[in-house]
Amino acid sequence: MAQAAIELIGINKSFGAVRANRDINLEIARGTIHGIVGENGAGKSTLMSILYGFYQADSGEIHVGGQPASIKTPNDAIALGIGMVHQHFMLVDNFSVLENVILGAESDALLKKSIAKARSELERLEREYGLEVDPDAIIEELPVGLQQRVEILKALYRGAEILILDEPTGVLTPAEADHLFRILKQLKEQGKTVVLITHKLREIMAITDTVSVMRQGTMVATRETKKTTVGELAELMVGRRVLLRVEKGEAEAGGIKLAVKNLTVKDSRGVTVVDDVSFDLRAGEIVGIAGVAGNGQSELLEAISGIRHAVSGSVMLDGKPIDLTGAADPGELRERGLAHVPEDRHHVGLVLAFEENENSILGYHDDERYLKGPFLNIDAIRDDAKDKITKYDIRPADCRLRTANFSGGNQQKIVLAREMEQDPGVLIVGQPTRGVDVGAIEFIHKRLIAMRDQGKAVLVVSVELDEIRSLSDRILVMFAGRIVGERGPEATEGELGLLMAGVEHQEAAE
Amino acid sequence: MSTPYAKLPGWADYGLIPVINLFVAFVVAGFVVMLVGENPLRAAAILVEGAFGRGQGIAFTLYYATTFIFSGLSVAVAVHCGLFNIGGEGQGYIAGLGIGVVCLAFDSVLPWWLTFPLAIIAAAAMGALWALIPAYLQAKRGSHIVITTIMFNFIAASVMVYMLVDVLKPAGSMAPQTRNFLEGGQLPKLNWIIELFGAKIRSAPLNVTFLLALVMAFLVWLLIWRTKLGYEMRTYGHSPKAARYAGISETRIIIIAMLISGALAGMMALNPVMGDQHNVALDFVSGAGFVGIAVALMGRSHPVGIVLAAILFGMLYQGGAELAFEMPAISRDMIVIIQGLVILFAGALEHMFRPHIQALFASISPRTVGIEAVKGKGA
Ligand SMILES: Nc1ncnc2c1ncn2[C@@H]1O[C@H](COP(=O)(O)OP(=O)(O)OP(=O)(O)O)[C@@H](O)[C@H]1O
Ligand SMILES: [Mg+2]
């Protein structure tokens, strides 16, 4: 057994009544990749935030390299060689890569000198770990995968020996994720220690040496990855058996609910992002749109739900057209029975600064149920929020808590509960389970299928092929703004993968 | 590495931090006082004594505070909708015109309690009108509201000079101001309330507008946290994208928020015009619109905080005047410096001591401190 890089002993942390971490003991061996899995709200991010100095533990000890350490701020953590890659990057968008890397670590008062030094150091790091990024590129012009590399470089530049990554692949395309894992392996070979939090058990199996499972604030198990299985991990996480693929019967597709014809959308720079897309969505079916992120799916969803201007084409909801000039009133579409779970829950689907109950009426705040004349009917709103919290098992069950303080999966449930409970005829969902744990995925999938079985029309956009394949009755593949193929749920991953990569579909069909 | 701001217990957030900021502002101001060769402790004593020591001082302090409550509320309403209205000065100034017209027309025929509601409406309407154009330009054309509202301050000033000199000035009068209002255009004083507590007041301008200010503070609270409109304003203020998604019209909400903000700014003119001077004179707003920005910042855009911050600034105005009188070495400009320091520490540098206080709290009792999730963090 290698020496422990980090030892956490008896860590406790509460937020008010919520015990986010209880008596956690964890040993992370030097030079390994250590995975941490657990349900949404299990306390993974909290534990790592304690290690990185964002939070203070109520009690417990941290040992780094065998020595007791006092970590009060992220600067203390950095000084001890601990680096963290945040899920949402903390980069200055209009700075270059180099400037971002040295930001806050400038060694000289004269910027010029430190830049020159930093450049050679950065080039060394890039070579050593296969982390190629152009040091002079401007951050906002880089794809997320590269931005993430800059975050890693930033940590390494500050001398990180231990690197914490909290759900790093949530925003990456599969190819970018593969590259990230190659980098992590490289880091491990060079003797660095990596802590990886993820909900994707496949990633855990593929890359970690050891995996620890958290549940409701406690550490329930640590396993050698080789000696465990996806099924066992899922069961440890949730405390019961989990269906990794939800059973569903044949679809009984009815009449057309939503008809999209020749829809074309341009972005603000005039580039065509959705190109002549046509399809129908029927009552009682789930249509999945597969594709690598950034191939026009997001814009397609936004145009259909009336929040993005389309240059041409038409969308009919129950036989009546939707205004595509960008002036559509999403409120009116809701009344017509179109509900929308947006991809970006942090900026679009939720107002993070609001209390949970305030978010549970977002978009439906015109509804008489929630109003008393011009006033909000606070009691009705809170009662309604509490109902949804119970029904969707949103944790913690506190409708007055700020939404930002819910874990990612629970935030997603807040949005889903709001949209599904309005009993819409058509539900369009972007990335239904991004950042959501296996138990909640099962729950969300069951709900979506239940909606289908009640005769609702459901459109799902997801970058997770597994999800598309297990939910959809029909699969449309988008590439470069166009629908390049339609397949049934029996399509293989390889076949869909080729379509998603833009290989002509005749070839793919062979 | 940026450390997100800590979430402190409420009392520390809303009580301790402002008090520390204030304390530092006064310490720095103390050095300035020492620089001109006066004793800072005595100066502080005079300032506080001047503001709260006698009934007279209290009445003046509250009189100034009245104006600041309006201008602070005006800024806060816009801020909740993500807009920075720094045109309160002009909106208040132009509102004086509406009040003037109402009073000149009715002061001889109506009693004050009938003129007053009319004047309130006129003030609010003029202030709102003055905010409408920048609001429209922001909503429809994307012209930045900070730029346009500040330009409108200048336009208001020019319009008022013209109106007062060429239109409203009685023939034969030398001063660029309207004639004095008769009884029907004069608001009753509230000094008797302070006298109830045994203090004596010679004459002070505290008047019923103060009560109106408190009512407006309550109404703003109601608007922001209890109405659908306030909900929509806050949604837009936090995230325009979420507002779009929720079907909240950007144009509509910007315009409504600015109308309300402008109306509140307009109402501040009632206090000096009908409550004190009984005429509309050149420059009667004298910076109160800008003080509102500091008041809103310090009061965390919450009506209760705004009322308290407004009283603090009222104290600086009143106590400052006493100080300039008692200590000749301290000129009127010195008082402005002291006020500036308070604005600097309590407003602009609001967060300066926050990380340290958080660290302190963290080491004393970690349980109380959590970190407010950074925008976008989480998951
Ligand atoms: N600042 C905070 N204030 C109050 N409660 C909090 C705060 N941060 C986290 N919590 C609560 O602590 C618990 C653990 O949250 P944490 O973010 O650590 O979960 P997680 O395991 O990372 O979940 P996810 O997989 O969804 O990211 C949750 O119940 C969460 O709501
Ligand atoms: Mg987390």
Q: Which of A104, A329, A351 minimises the CB distance to B247?
A: A329
Distance (Å) from CA B281 to ligand 1 centroid: 59
* pLDDT on residue A243: 75
Backbone angles phi, psi at B327, to 5 degrees: -115, 100
Beta strand A338-341 with A162-166: parallel, antiparallel or unpaired? Answer: unpaired
Do A404 and B228 count as a contact with CB atoms less than 8 A apart? no
Q: Does A88 touch chain B (CB under 8 A)?
A: yes
The reply to whether ligand 1 has any atom less than 6 angstroms from the CB of A170 is: no
Distance (Å) from CA B379 to ligand 2 centroid: 5
* pLDDT on residue A110: 62
Do B247 and A74 count as a contact with CB atoms less than 8 A apart? no
Q: Which residues are CB-neighbours of A501 under 8 A, at least 6 positions away?
A: A292, A479
* pLDDT on residue B352: 77
- Residue B372 pLDDT grade (very low, low, confident, very high; cuts 50, 70, 90): very low
The residue behind tokens 């065998």 is A66
Q: What is the pLDDT of residues B61-75, one digit of tens each?
A: 999 999 999 999 999
| Distance between start and end Cα atoms, chain A | 50
E strand spans, A191-271 = 193-197, 210-215, 218-224, 256-266
The residue behind tokens 């909400």 is B253
**Mean pLDDT of the B8-23 span:** 77
- State the Cα angle at B292 between B288 and B295, rounded to 5°: 130
Alpha carbon of A367: minimum distance to chain B alpha carbons (Å): 10
The reply to whether ligand 1 has any atom less than 6 angstroms from the CB of A406 is: yes
Alpha carbon of A172: minimum distance to chain B alpha carbons (Å): 15
User: Is 90 exceeded by the pLDDT of residue A292?
Assistant: no
Q: Which of B227, B235, B359 minimises the CB distance to A72?
A: B359
Distance (Å) from CA A403 to ligand 1 centroid: 11
**Mean pLDDT of the A381-396 span:** 94
Q: Which of A11, A13, A40, A46 is the pocket-test mutation for ligand 1 (most atoms within 8 Å of CB)?
A: A46
- Residue B296 pLDDT grade (very low, low, confident, very high; cuts 50, 70, 90): very high
Q: Which of A12, A15, A352, A406 is the pocket-test mutation for ligand 1 (most atoms within 8 Å of CB)?
A: A15
**Mean pLDDT of the B243-261 span:** 95
**Mean pLDDT of the A164-170 span:** 87
Q: What is the pLDDT of residues A104-129, one digit of tens each?
A: 776 666 667 777 888 888 888 888 88
CATH fold, domain A256-352+419-509, is Rossmann fold (3.40.50)
Alpha helices of A360-487 — where are they, by DSSP H?
378-391, 408-420, 438-453, 465-471
pTM: 0.85
Burial state string for A101-133 with b = 16 or more CB within 10 A and e = fewer than 16: bbeeeeeeeeeeebbeebeebbeeebeebebeb
> What is the distance between the alpha carbons of residues B113 and B212, in angstroms, rounded to a whole number?
13
* pLDDT on residue B362: 66
Distance (Å) from CA A359 to ligand 1 centroid: 18
Residue A458 tokens, joined: 């459901």
Residues in B closer than 8 angstroms to A86, CB to CB, are 377
More confident residue, B84 or B173: B84
* pLDDT on residue A509: 46
Q: Closest ligand to A166 CA?
A: 2
Q: Closest ligand to A38 CA?
A: 1
The CATH code of domain A4-238 reads 3.40.50.300
Residue in A with minimal Cα distance to B379: A408
Nearest CA-CA partner of A348 in A417, A415, A267, A276:
A415
* pLDDT on residue B4: 38
> What is the distance between the alpha carbons of residues A368 and A365, in angstroms, rounded to a whole number?
8
* pLDDT on residue B376: 34
Q: What percent of chain B has pLDDT over 70?
A: 92
Q: Which atom number of ligand 1 is nearest to the Cα of residue A48?
A: 18
Residues in B closer than 8 angstroms to A349, CB to CB, are 242, 245
Do A346 and B375 count as a contact with CB atoms less than 8 A apart? yes
Q: Does A291 touch chain B (CB under 8 A)?
A: no
Residue in B with minimal Cα distance to A103: B1
Alpha carbon of B145: minimum distance to chain A alpha carbons (Å): 23
Q: Which of A167, A362, A409 minimises the CB distance to B235?
A: A362
The CATH code of domain B67-315 reads 1.10.3470
Question: Which chain B residues touch A if contact means CB-CB below 8 Å?
Answer: 1-4, 222, 226-229, 231-232, 234-235, 238-239, 241-242, 244-247, 249, 359, 362-363, 366-367, 369-379
Q: What is the pLDDT of residues B118-155, one digit of tens each?
A: 999 999 999 999 999 999 999 999 899 999 999 999 99
Boundaries of every domain in chain A: 4-238, 256-352+419-509
Q: Which of A72, A365, A408 minimises the CB distance to B362?
A: A72
Distance (Å) from CA B351 to ligand 2 centroid: 27
Instruction: Report whether A323 contacts A303 (CB < 8 A).
Output: no
User: Is 70 exceeded by the pLDDT of residue A244?
Assistant: yes
User: Is 90 exceeded by the pLDDT of residue A257?
Assistant: yes
Beta bridge partners of A84: A164
Tell me chain B's radius of gyration from C-alpha atoms: 22
* pLDDT on residue B131: 97
* pLDDT on residue A251: 80
* pLDDT on residue B364: 66
Q: What is the mean pLDDT of chain A?
A: 89
- Residue A48 pLDDT grade (very low, low, confident, very high; cuts 50, 70, 90): very high
The reply to whether ligand 1 has any atom less than 6 angstroms from the CB of A405 is: yes
More confident residue, A498 or A88: A498
**Mean pLDDT of the A302-329 span:** 87
Alpha carbon of A374: minimum distance to chain B alpha carbons (Å): 6
Q: What is the pLDDT of residues B21-36, one digit of tens each?
A: 888 888 888 898 888 8
B174-178, B189-193, B339-343: lowest mean pLDDT where? B339-343
* pLDDT on residue A92: 87
A234-243, B327-336, B341-350: lowest mean pLDDT where? B341-350
**Mean pLDDT of the A73-82 span:** 92
- Distance set, CA A124 to CA A116, A120, A179, B120 (Å): 13, 6, 19, 70
Residue located nearest, by CA, to atom 8 of ligand 1: A405
- Residue B311 pLDDT grade (very low, low, confident, very high; cuts 50, 70, 90): very high
Do B238 and A352 count as a contact with CB atoms less than 8 A apart? yes
User: Is 90 exceeded by the pLDDT of residue A256?
Assistant: yes
Q: What percent of chain A has pLDDT over 90?
A: 56
Instruction: Report whether A374 contacts B228 (CB < 8 A).
Output: yes
Q: Closest ligand to A43 CA?
A: 1
Q: What is the mean pLDDT of chain B?
A: 88
User: Is 60 exceeded by the pLDDT of residue A505?
Assistant: no
The reply to whether ligand 1 has any atom less than 6 angstroms from the CB of A38 is: yes
Three-class secondary structure assignment of B341-366:
HHHHHHHHCCCCCHHHHHHHHHHHCH
> What is the distance between the alpha carbons of residues B217 and B264, in angstroms, rounded to a whole number?
10
* pLDDT on residue B6: 42
Beta bridge partners of A215: A218
> What is the distance between the alpha carbons of residues B110 and B245, in angstroms, rounded to a whole number?
50
